[in-house]
């Protein structure tokens, strides 16, 4: 039976090229044709957020379709291939691993007998080129994506295929609403990775951080960024991680109990 450890990708292991490269290129292409700035990035993000609010989570991450819709709204007829742009921009330093512990940690987990999977709300066609460029495909056995499963985080059905092959030990991610929530709903170890922890939490163990009162403002800030409607509100219990790490090297402190 396999022992899975799963990882979010964007914001957890790697930086994709969308925000810094692809959206600006879309803006340039459309604005040149229109002869004025259409604020494409803002409009695409608004459409994305609206779909998330309407619980169209799988469709919300189809950037090719979102761009097609925007082009139609603007009265244009041109085509922009987002998948092709991802391939073009999947080169360093446009894409990069988020810290130097990523590959060594994945290698060590494999050596210790774990099976590793990426569980991401990004479509395979957008994620694989970045992962390949950064050397992640060598260490991750499976890439679980919304368009392949029909589900997106935090829906636990997204993990059906992995659970049919073994046990999920832990899930690691940077979002409360997607990553911590899906792990907590499944009753597996939820690990929040946050690389900008306040000074008072740095010297603590991952478990101590999760239980420390100083984590409260961190979680509240994350929740408000993910969903502005949660600003100032009491967070749901599903947002409380079991462990908090600042890099993947610290993940091994979260697995010792599970391994024993």
What's the domain range around 161?
Answer: 2-15+95-259
- Single residue among 72, 89, 106 that ends a domain in this structure: 89
Domain co-membership, 231 together with 117: yes
Domain co-membership, 194 together with 254: yes
Domain co-membership, 80 together with 164: no
Domain co-membership, 164 together with 249: yes
Domain co-membership, 45 together with 167: no
Asked if 200 and 214 count as a contact pair (C-beta separation under 8 A), the reply is yes
- Single residue among 89, 116, 143 that ends a domain in this structure: 89
| pLDDT at position 220 | 97
User: For residue 260, is pLDDT > 80?
Assistant: no
Percentage of the chain modeled with pLDDT above 70: 98
Query: At 191, is the pLDDT very low, low, confident or very high (cuts 50, 70, 90)?
Result: very high
Question: Which CATH number do you get for residue 223?
Answer: 3.40.50.1000
Identify which of 11, 36, 37, 40 has the alpha carbon closest to the alpha carbon of residue 127.
11
- Mean of pLDDT over the chain: 95
| pLDDT at position 259 | 40
Domain co-membership, 23 together with 11: no
Token output for 221:
């800030």
* Predicted TM-score (pTM) of this structure: 0.94
Domain co-membership, 7 together with 104: yes
Query: At 53, is the pLDDT very low, low, confident or very high (cuts 50, 70, 90)?
Result: confident
User: For residue 258, is pLDDT > 60?
Assistant: no
Domain co-membership, 26 together with 148: no
Q: Total domain count for the chain?
A: 2
Domain co-membership, 9 together with 27: no
| pLDDT at position 228 | 87
User: For residue 232, is pLDDT > 60?
Assistant: yes
- Single residue among 67, 89, 111 that ends a domain in this structure: 89
Q: Over the stretch 214-230, which tens digit does the pLDDT of each residue have?
A: 999 999 999 999 988 88
User: For residue 158, is pLDDT > 60?
Assistant: yes
Domain co-membership, 137 together with 24: no
Domain co-membership, 125 together with 245: yes
Domain co-membership, 99 together with 149: yes
């Amino acid at each position: 039976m396999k022992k899975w450890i799963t990882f979010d990708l964007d914001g957890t292991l790697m930086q994709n090229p969308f925000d810094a490269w692809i959206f600006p290129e879309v803006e340039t292409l459309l604005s040149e044709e229109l002869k004025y700035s259409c604020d494409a990035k803002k409009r695409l993000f608004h459409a994305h957020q609206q779909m998330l609010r309407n619980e169209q989570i799988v469709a919300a991450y189809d950037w090719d379709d979102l761009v097609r819709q925007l082009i139609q709204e603007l009265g244009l007829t041109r085509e922009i291939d987002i998948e092709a742009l991802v391939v073009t921009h999947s080169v360093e330093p446009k894409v990069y691993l988020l810290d130097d512990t990523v590959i060594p940690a994945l290698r060590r987990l494999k050596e210790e007998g774990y099976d590793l999977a990426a569980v991401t709300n990004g479509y395979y066609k957008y994620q694989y080129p970045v992962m390949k460029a950064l050397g992640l495909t060598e260490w991750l056995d499976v890439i679980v994506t919304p368009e392949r499963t029909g589900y997106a985080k935090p829906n636990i059905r997204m993990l059906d295929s992995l659970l049919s092959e073994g046990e999920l030990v832990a899930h690691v991610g940077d979002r409360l609403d997607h990553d911590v929530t899906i792990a907590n709903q499944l009753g597996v170890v939820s690990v929040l990775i946050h690389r900008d922890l306040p000074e008072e939490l740095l010297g603590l163990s991952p478990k101590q951080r999760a239980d420390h009162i100083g984590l409260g403002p961190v979680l509240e800030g994350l929740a408000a960024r993910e969903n502005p409607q949660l600003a100032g509100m009491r967070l749901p219990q599903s947002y409380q991680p079991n462990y908090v790490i600042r890099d993947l090297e610290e993940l091994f402190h979260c697995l010792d109990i599970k391994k024993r």
